[in-house]
A and B are shown apart, each in its own frame.
Chain A
Amino acid sequence: MASLRRRMGTLVGVGVLVIVSASAVVIAIERWQEETASLVDTLELAAFDLSETRTPRIGDIAVRGGTDVLVLLLDDRAEVIDSSGSSFVGLDELIDGPWSDAVDQDTVVTYEFGGSDGRSATAAAVPCIDSSVCDSVIVVASAGKLSSYLVARWMWLTGPALPAGLGAAAAAVWLVGRSLRPVDAMRRDLASITASDLERRVPVPSTGDELERLGTTFNDTLDRLGAAVAANERFVADAAHELRSPITGVRAVLDLEAGRSPGGLLEDGARELERASCLIDDLLVLARRQGRGRRIIDVDLDDVVREQVATAATRFPEVEITSSIVPVRLGGDPDGLRRVVANLLDNACFHGDRRVGVRVSAVGGVARLQVDDDGPGIPVAERARVFERFARLDGSRSRHTGGSGLGLAIVGELVSDHGGTTTIGESSWGGASAVATIPSAAG
């Protein structure tokens, strides 16, 4: 966006300067011609005036500024009787000019010549009234160089155009920025719209132009995308819900039968059923992750962890869970965070051998939850993959050790919903160490 504005600004600024410069050159040349023409008139008049006097005076010969003026009185042999000065460039050439012939004819002669240094001069010659004093008067004016005249004129005309050009460039930058502002607003909004808030729409400028149509198209696309995501979530939620009723029924029946004749296949069946219902729960969590159930309130992470540690301790009495917990409060979804902690703890207790360590800390506005175990750990190459849905490491493929395959995926997604990240490393006991960091609002 910024570079587009810069380009437009440069384009307009340079354009204005080029147009003004070209006009300045044309104007300067015209002025040059006009001034030269008027110079001839001026010199003629001056020469006429001087022809009546005896002394060559420059007097009030009004010629343009910066022009050297020379007055010469010649005798009938074209020798200089008197002059107003001798420093005139090209004087010799001038005197050798065709003056005498012209003066003989008693006419006014104008003569322009280019000096060797590139200067040109204009001269007017008239016969003297009193021929005893002089034969003719010549008034010469150097005209200066056209090139230096042009440079001076151009500067004079273009100088004021420079701020004008800059002004135009700034105006172009501002104007382009202004007309692109809706695009920028749409881009910003679009960038912040994620799968979790597809209800949001970009602001559509009511300009009736391409920008409005662009905004409308964006929003139509978001509508379709939102509808597709919602339909998908609804399907998973409905499916899970519908599955739950028969599972509850079958489970109750199995419990009933197990009560009558304990042990054996019934227990295996109950365990498999338990797995299926866990899977359904997990699917529901994922499906509803972005759904209506989500609320953002103050959550005491330390409390959630305390509660889940107590739950895990009763579920896995053979595992010794040690914890180091400091109070950490963050803004989040309490159900989601409870799920994060529960899944990490279950995972650690499941894969751990005898020990699980839990640590809650806060550093610089970031809450940190670390769950260590003393199990076999996770190979470096597999560490990123464990957060994928249904990812299972080769070692845990058997149904007795594998969970639903969604546990860590759920952790990863819930933590990222809270603006945090989850990583797997190696614990000091050589097992796995899961670390979730979440920005905490209250600190």
Chain B
Amino acid sequence: MRVLVVEDEPLIAQALREGLEAEGYAVDTSDRGDDGLWRATEVAYDAIILDLMLPGMNGFVVCREMRSRGITTPVMMLTAKDGEFDEAEGLDTGADDYVTKPFSLVVVLARLRALIRRGPTERPATLVAGDLVLDPAERTCRRGDTVVELTPREFSLLRYLMHRLGEPVSKRDLIDHVWADQEMEANVVQVYVGYLRRKIDEPFGRAAIETVRGHGYRLAADGG
């Protein structure tokens, strides 16, 4: 297993190298973004650990460049959790996981193992119902040309409904798959379906989410 560590802090790079080597990985290190990108293009690594703040080229750009060059190697981003960069933004650029500094070496190693086990990940497919489009990779939702802002829970609710397009979905299923909270009351689902309708249906004069009496809901395959 060969891993590339792109990190400009010598102490962190050194500790990562030693920690990884102790686990039996072959480790290359790079202290510049542009150099890291070049190495990633030249060598087929099993995983890349990428710092965000790098001289030469920052981690987001490196990651985006790699993906645009067709390199699907799993990337773990090291970020400083100071609100300057958004998690979602990091994932948008194609990173597969991220760990905030200061991280625990144990955690980094465990997550790296999981990342390599999963292998290069496919970006999830875009979900479509008529002119209602949900892109799980970019976490965006569109109705026609209009971008609809959804809260995280609204997003996962719509995602699940679109995943089972045209089928009646029971409230129990929604609780299990969207909330994963056994003790949650069913009326919470009702409230969130109301939120969703107010965002994707009512402003457009549509009715994509149908109520299936005594059971649950169904997302119309044609988007209402």
A residues adjacent to B (C-beta < 8 A) = 237, 240-241, 244-253, 255-256, 259-260, 273, 277, 281, 284-285, 288, 291, 293, 297-300, 302-303, 306, 325-327, 329, 335
Q: Is the CB of A255 within 8 A of B19?
A: yes
State which of B63-71, B119-127, B146-154 sits at the interface with chain A: B146-154
Interface string of B94-135 (1 = CB under 8 A from A): 000000011111100000000000000000000000000000
CB neighbours of B103 from chain A (8 A): 248, 251-252
- In the complex, B212 has a CB within 8 A of chain A: no
Query: Smallest CB–CB gap between A323 and chain B, Å?
Result: 8
Of the candidate stretches B29-37, B80-88, B163-171, B201-209, the one touching chain A is B80-88
Query: In the complex, A302→B187 CA distance in Å?
Result: 13
Say yes or no: B151 contacts A299, CB within 8 Å. Answer: yes
Chain B residues closer than 8 Å to A246, beta-carbon distance:
11
Query: Interface on chain A toward B: helix, strand, loop, or mixed SS?
Result: helix
B181 interface residue (CB < 8 Å to A)? yes
Tell me whether B18 and A248 are in contact (CB under 8 A).
Answer: no
A256: which of B82, B105, B154, B188 is its contact (CB, 8 Å)? B105
| Contact residue among A249, A277, A302 (Cβ-Cβ distance under 8 Å from B12) | A249
- Give bound CA distance, A437 to B209, whole Å: 33
Q: Are B82 and A255 in contact (CB under 8 A)?
A: no
- B83 to chain A: which residues have CB within 8 Å? 284-285, 288, 291, 293, 335
Instruction: Decide if A306 touches B179 in the complex (CB within 8 Å).
Output: yes
| Cα separation A250 to B192 with both chains bound (whole Å) | 45
Q: Are B149 and A298 in contact (CB under 8 A)?
A: yes
Asked whether any CB of chain A lies closer than 8 Å to the CB of B1, the reply is no
Q: Which residues of A contact B43 (CB under 8 A)?
A: none
Shortest distance from the beta carbon of B69 to any chain A beta carbon, whole Å: 29
A237 near B82 with CB under 8 A, answer yes
Q: Which residues of B contact A325 (CB under 8 A)?
A: 184, 188
Q: Which residues of B contact A240 (CB under 8 A)?
A: 82
Q: Which residues B137-186 have CB closer than 8 A to chain A?
A: 149, 151-154, 179, 181, 184
Q: Are B101 and A303 interface neighbours, CB within 8 A?
A: no
Q: Are B15 and A249 touching (Cβ within 8 A)?
A: yes
> In terms of DSSP, what is the predominant structure of the interface of chain B?
helix
Contact status A281-B153, CB under 8 Å: no
- Residue numbers in B under 8 Å from A329 (CB-CB): 151, 195
Other than the given A255-B105, A281-B81, A288-B83, 6 more pairs (CB < 8 A) read A237-B82, A293-B84, A297-B151, A300-B153, A306-B179, A325-B188
Residues of B within 8 A of A291 (CB): 83
By a CB distance below 8 angstroms, the chain B residues around A281 are 81
By beta carbon, the residue of chain B nearest A260 is B22
A314–B102 alpha-carbon span in the complex (Å): 20
Cβ of B82: which chain A residues have Cβ within 8 Å of it? 237, 240-241, 244, 284, 288
Given A259-B22, A335-B83, A252 contacting B188 (CB threshold 8 A): no
Q: How far is the CB of B223 from chain A (nearest CB, A)?
A: 22
Q: Indicate which residue in B19, B22, B191 contacts A327 across the interface (CB closer than 8 Å).
A: B191
- Give every chain A residue within 8 A of B222 (Cβ-Cβ): none
Decide if B102 touches A273 in the complex (CB within 8 Å): yes
Return chain B residues, CB-CB under 8 Å to A284: 82-83
Residues of B within 8 A of A241 (CB): 80, 82
Complex: how many Å from CA A244 to CA B81?
10
* Chain A CB within 8 A of B75 CB: no
A244→B19 CA distance, assembly (Å): 20
Q: A302 touching B19 by the CB < 8 A rule? A: no
**Which of A253, A255, A327 has a CB less than 8 Å from the CB of B11?**
A253
CB–CB B9/A303 < 8 A: no
B149: nearest residue on chain A (CB-CB)?
Answer: A297
Cross-chain contact B104 with A255 (CB below 8 angstroms): yes
Q: Are A259 and B153 neighbours in the complex by a CB distance under 8 Å?
A: no
Q: Would you call B188 and A249 a contact (CB within 8 A)? A: no
Contact of A306 among B12, B181, B191 (CB under 8 A): B181
Instruction: List the A side residues contacting B50 at CB < 8 Å.
Output: none
B-chain residues with CB within 8 Å of residue A245 when the two chains form the complex: 9, 12, 101
Asked if B62 is at the interface (CB within 8 A of a chain A CB), the reply is no
Residues of B within 8 A of A248 (CB): 9, 12, 101-103
**From residue B124, how far is it (CB to closest CB) to chain A in Å?**
21
Chain A proximity of B111: nearest CB distance (Å): 14
Instruction: Report chain A residues within 8 Å CB of B11.
Output: 246, 249-250, 252-253
User: Measured between C-beta atoms, what is the minimum distance from A174 to chain B in Å?
Assistant: 45
B220 sits at the interface (CB 8 A): no
Chain B residues, Cβ within 8 Å of A335: 83
Contacts of A259 in B (CB 8 A): 19, 22, 105-106
Name 5 A/B residue pairs within 8 A (Cβ), A-sorted: A241-B80, A249-B10, A249-B12, A281-B81, A306-B181
* A302-B188, A335-B83 known; A244 vs B101 contact (CB < 8 Å): yes
Complex Cα spacing A28 to B151, Å: 83
Are A327 and B9 also in contact (CB < 8 A) when A248-B103, A251-B102, A273-B102 are?
no
In the complex, how many angstroms separate the beta carbon of B91 from the nearest chain A beta carbon? 16
- Does B54 count as interface, using CB distance less than 8 angstroms? no
* Chain A residues near B80 (CB-CB < 8 A): 241, 244
Q: Which of A300, A325, A335 has the most CB of B within 10 A?
A: A300
Say whether A252 contacts B149, CB under 8 Å: no
Set A255, A297, A300, A327: member contacting B15, Cβ < 8 A: A255
Bound CA–CA A439/B223 (angstroms): 35
Contacts of B9 in A (CB 8 A): 245, 248-249
B191 engages A255 (CB within 8 Å): no
Contacts A241-B80, A288-B83 given; indicate if A298 touches B12 (C-beta within 8 A): no
